[in-house]
Structure 1
Amino acid sequence: MKDCILLTGGAGFIGSALSHLITGLGALPVVAIDSLHPQVHARGIRPPELHDDVRLIVADICEPTTWISFLAEWRPSIVVHLAAETGTGQSLSEASRHTHVNVTGTARMLDAFAAVGHVPQRFVLSSSRAVYGEGIWVKADGTRVSPGQRSKAMLDAGQWDFVNSTALPFVADSTPANPTSIYGATKLAQEQIIRSWALSFGSEIAILRLQNVYGPGQSLDNPYTGIVSLFSRLARAGKSIPLYEDGLMRRDFIFISDVARALRAAIYERQAAGQIHDIGYGKPTTIADVASLIAAHYAAPAPHVCGKYRNGDVRHAGCEVTRARAIGWQPEVELADGISQLCEWIDQRLENV
């Protein structure tokens, strides 16, 4: 049996970027298992962004036969678990699909390891800020509250914020997990399932709760992909970008190369184990400001508020990155520069189609 670094969902946006940081002379071979789902990989072929030296196994992590075949050849010392269904809004109408992949797929992997008596040295889980839900808000008198999920009646009335309250940044040690979407609930379940298994069998685990990831390599075929990519395509076509709610909801946008470096640190840094790390830029930006930057890049019409909202969405999201800095990581790419890089990549990609 051969040792390796295993990337589940490794042919996706994040896995492909990470592959270039962990594949090289003297390093462990990297093996990716990915189903090449048509929602993400419309042509069903190996993505060019994935490092050439990565061994790609096209298979479904939910199928026991996938693991029987894989473990007949490999015994991974490091498992980077990226495989997941990721559509926040989509998860509310396709709950069984998200639960099957994110929860059952994770359990299938762990069952397979247990069946052959293999215990990886470390798991690195790509989790999500969605596990926090709305997080903690502070009232005008200084009282901190966990407001929970915004109701349909609240959103139908256009009451976007919680009255007389301000959202605080997410911090793993102090912000309780309280997801407002099926997706967020399944990511929290992933965390708990892998942590329980790892502690029972003696593996290390590092969890990264990612904020809004964007950058070159994002799927341009996936209708549920990140809003930065979606906005860029609309503006490139000369269209006005529609803003949900009032456009003033905040998100913490983190560039793909910064995320890949954070995952690399979680793989190799000793002190990363046993911790949950929040990964963002640390400076939330309104959706309206992001849309305006993109519209200006393409000289497109100004964004407009369309009056819609998306069930399961949180009002504001951002995080502190103090703990992640302690493992030698910090974000480097500022939003304006990252958007320029993404738009240039989209232009090149679409011009060559």
Structure 2
Amino acid sequence: MTASTLGTVLVTGGAGFIGCALSHKLAATAERWVVIDNLHPQVHPSAERPADLHEAAELVVGDVTDAAAWDALLADVRPDVIVHLAAETGTAQSLHAATSHAEANVVGTTEMLDALGRAGQVPAHFVLSSSRAVYGEGQWQREDGTVFEPGQRSHAQFERGEWDFPAAKPLPSRAAVTMPAPTSVYGATKLAQEHILSAWSAAHDAKLTVLRLQNVYGPGQSLINSYTGIVSLFSQLAMDGGTIQVYEDGRIVRDFVFIDDIAESFRAVITAGPAADVSRFDIGSGVGTTILELAQAIAAYHDAPAPVVNGMYRDGDVRHAECSIEDSLAGLDWAPAWDVTRGVAALQEWIAAQRGADVQE
């Protein structure tokens, strides 16, 4: 399938951050580009169609957990491709909002599949937006070369200030090698999505591509959602002259990947079509950045006070989340184009523009 021959594409949660960016890549070339989104107030405070959603996209306001909404939608739409973005996000939030995460991420997925069954429809290709959170701590390597899965850091470890696993170093996650072992409710629900879609697709001869995304940031990200977007949160604090607080010892590692690179990865998968019955790809920049490095760069950009490492922690947090993109580079017509320095600068400019627009209004 190429961009010029796209059939009907249905995007769940398609009015959000990634969905809007992707709509500008492909919506105009699809036979139909249909979005179902509940316009969650955590992302869409005005509950209006977002200006960033491409004009060619048909927006259906509805919740993926609502069977009636699905039945009404599928009476009018017969998707060739379903891009499943709809989800509750936020690893920390999920620990005290487990039910809402399970409802949106797990039940929302099963309601979609049940509705397809009632409508007698089998899309040719599912594309799932999964997460690096499915890996948990992933694999670490001891000094003697042995590789092990350390599991979740305990509350007692945090209280002692033991941030790392002793005499070991973390390894980048890689879908073909790293066993998923989520340490958050959010990660567990994303892995459940993978399993559910894999089982259903296999039984119905559909294809499934899973994109395990690292930490996505960039223009278009919600500036009011405190549970997603550490880059935007740090940026707004520094813009106001505040001091960024950094947890643990500052050396928590994340792979920050720019929104345009994320949208390009989805474009590559959708236009090329499925490579196998089930394919899994890690999508990131391929470069790890410590939270302290990120905070220092943002503070310096705004001439804000130097970040403070406060030794605080979040139960269930992962110490090191970085991926290898080797298999993604080989298997997709895709490569990241944005490094974190360029991407963070672009985000600062966008946030400043948004704030200026708010003042004028």
Smaller-chain TM-score range?
Answer: over 0.9
**CA shift at 1:65, angstroms?**
0.8
| 1:187-198 superposed matches below 5 A | 187-198=190-201
The aligned residue for residue 7 of structure 1 is 11
The aligned residue for residue 78 of structure 1 is 81
Give unpaired runs (5+ residues) of structure 1: none
**CA shift at 1:272, angstroms?**
3.6
Is the aligned partner of 1:260 residue 2:263? yes
Distance in 1, matches of 2:152 and 2:228, equals 23
| DSSP-derived class of the 2:80 partner | strand
Is the aligned partner of 1:17 residue 2:21? yes
Residues 31-84 of structure 1: CA distance to partner in whole angstroms, max 9, x if unpaired?
110001111111111111111110111110100011111011010000000000
**CA shift at 1:154, angstroms?**
0.6
Is the aligned partner of 1:343 residue 2:348? yes
Distance in 2, matches of 1:167 and 1:79, equals 35
Distance in 2, matches of 1:100 and 1:192, equals 16
Aligned AA (1:352): A
| DSSP-derived class of the 1:39 partner | coil
Distance in 2, matches of 1:49 and 1:300, equals 30
The aligned residue for residue 338 of structure 2 is 333
Residues 90-125 of structure 1: CA distance to partner in whole angstroms, max 9, x if unpaired?
000010000000000000000000111100010000
The aligned residue for residue 95 of structure 2 is 92
Query: Which region of structure 1 is more displaced relative to structure 2, 188-197 or 308-317?
Result: 308-317
Distance in 2, matches of 1:185 and 1:194, equals 14
Aligned AA (2:347): L
Residue number among 288, 307, 311 corresponding to 2:311 in the alignment: 307
| 1:187-336 superposed matches below 5 A | 187-270=190-273, 272-273=275-276, 274-326=278-330, 327-336=332-341
Aligned AA (1:128): S
Query: Which region of structure 1 is more displaced relative to structure 2, 83-92 or 271-280?
Result: 271-280
| DSSP-derived class of the 1:208 partner | strand
Q: 1:271 to 1:68 in 2, by over 3 A?
A: closer
User: Is the 8 Å Cα contact of residues 209 and 274 (structure 2) preserved in structure 1?
Assistant: no
Residue number among 44, 48, 67 corresponding to 1:45 in the alignment: 48
Distance in 1, matches of 2:52 and 2:164, equals 39
**CA shift at 1:271, angstroms?**
5.2
Distance in 2, matches of 1:200 and 1:98, equals 26
* TM-score normalised to structure 2 length: 0.95
Query: Which region of structure 1 is more displaced relative to structure 2, 219-228 or 187-196?
Result: 219-228
User: Is the 8 Å Cα contact of residues 75 and 119 (structure 2) preserved in structure 1?
Assistant: no
User: Is the 8 Å Cα contact of residues 41 and 221 (structure 1) preserved in structure 2?
Assistant: no
Q: 1:271 to 1:29 in 2, by over 3 A?
A: closer
**CA shift at 1:311, angstroms?**
1.7
Distance in 1, matches of 2:272 and 2:315, equals 38
Distance in 1, matches of 2:146 and 2:313, equals 28
Distance in 1, matches of 2:124 and 2:183, equals 33
Distance in 2, matches of 1:344 and 1:165, equals 39
Distance in 1, matches of 2:314 and 2:48, equals 32
Query: Which region of structure 1 is more displaced relative to structure 2, 323-332 or 103-112?
Result: 323-332
| DSSP-derived class of the 1:102 partner | helix
Where in structure 1 do 4 or more consecutive aligned residues deviate above 6 Å?
Answer: none
Distance in 2, matches of 1:128 and 1:139, equals 26
Aligned AA (1:349): Q
Distance in 2, matches of 1:306 and 1:291, equals 13
User: Is the 8 Å Cα contact of residues 129 and 210 (structure 2) preserved in structure 1?
Assistant: yes
The aligned residue for residue 128 of structure 1 is 131
| DSSP-derived class of the 2:320 partner | coil
The aligned residue for residue 113 of structure 1 is 116
How many pairs were matched up? 350
The aligned residue for residue 181 of structure 2 is 178
How large is the Cα RMSD of the aligned pairs? Answer: 0.9
Aligned AA (2:32): P
